[in-house]
Amino acid sequence: MNPVVAHALTLWGLSDAQVHLVAKRENEVFRITATTGQSLALRLHRPGYRNDAELRAELQWMAALATGGLNVPAPVPALDGVALQRVEDTQVSMLSWLNATPLGMLGVPLNVPNRLETFHALGVEMAKLHDVSDRWAPPAGFERWSWDRTGLLGDAPLWDRFWENPTLDRDLRELLIRFRQNALARLSTEQESLDFGLIHADLVPENVMRAEDGTLYMIDFDDGGFGFRLFDIATALIKHRVEPDFTDLRAALIEGYQSQRTLDVGGLEFFMALRAVTYVGWIITRMGEDGAPARNKRFLAQAKALISAF
């Protein structure tokens, strides 16, 4: 057994539990099955991605969301009552286990029953996420990054300088530079009027779980922080653009959201383009990973298409 996992289990009093690796993306996630039969999710956080204050804030927010009735994993404190632990240099945390499967997977056509009802339900859950977050008062020292004008388009964006992706040709580089200039100008005048607050920021299909009864759960709050609510909507939709009924899926999600919370979606195409360029930056530091060239190619094509549509 991974020695970090073995040590972590002692902190939760679960030394005799069964361990199964279930995900290895940004974080490593293990299903922990206690001798009582209860399952939990142990996370080994990606080294250097988040500091302790940011991870504590994430866990505090998730706990508040779970208390507020959201379908999210709830943090499980260790025996000492602390939710975030360190094993050697690795940050670890434990969450409640969800008996559900991802809504979809990257590069695989969406295959869920009741497609429109599912996206309507996702819109409802997103609205609840934003409502509960707005009603919650973060504790002192709460630290998360901001997907604001500077975080998206400044000189040091949260996900890197997308206009300097090393694989850009001259025409696409110029298009991205021009889009950035226009987007900076637009947000400088509109930012204060846009709905802004805590957002998930990564509700891609892998991060929406669906139970057999149709219940939807939101997982992986790694990238969550302060941002535009339209950015959250754009993120939840962007991976589904290839679906033949995308227009109907988008309408269903928006209808579900607006059944719970008022949101002007007039700027959605702009935020879809904004979301697309963040991926062009995100891939820069991951060019050496398996499959990165193909992903980069998709990101470039997506950014070009959405900027052109906008």
Asked if 3-97 and 102-309 have one fold, the answer is no
Which CATH number, 3.40.47.10, 3.40.440.10, 3.40.1020.10, 3.90.1200.10, labels domain 102-309? 3.90.1200.10
Residue 84: phi and psi, rounded to 5, are -100, 125
Nearest-angstrom CA–CA distance, 88 and 160? 29
Residue tagged 């997907």 (tokens): 147
Sorted by where each begins, the domain ranges of the chain are: 3-97, 102-309
Helices 246-258 and 115-135: crossing angle, nearest 10°?
40
Strands 39-44 and 90-96: antiparallel
pTM value > 0.85 = yes
Single out the residue of 196, 67, 218 nearest to residue 136, CA to CA.
67
Residues in contact with 289: Cβ distance below 8 Å, sequence separation at least 6, in sequence order: none
Homologous superfamily (CATH) of 3-97 is Phosphorylase Kinase; domain 1 (3.30.200.20)
Per-residue confidence (pLDDT) for residue 25, from 0 to 100 = 77
Per-residue confidence (pLDDT) for residue 253, from 0 to 100 = 98
Per-residue confidence (pLDDT) for residue 221, from 0 to 100 = 95
Per-residue confidence (pLDDT) for residue 254, from 0 to 100 = 98
DSSP state for residue 25 in the 8-state scheme: S
Q: Please report, in tens digits, the pLDDT of each residue of the chain (310 residues total).
A: 789 999 999 999 999 999 999 988 778 999 999 999 999 999 999 988 899 999 999 999 999 999 999 999 999 999 999 999 999 899 999 999 999 999 998 878 899 989 999 999 999 999 999 999 999 999 999 999 999 999 999 999 999 999 999 999 999 999 999 999 999 999 999 988 999 999 999 999 999 999 999 999 999 999 999 999 999 999 999 999 999 999 999 999 999 999 999 999 999 999 999 999 999 999 999 999 889 999 999 999 999 999 998 8
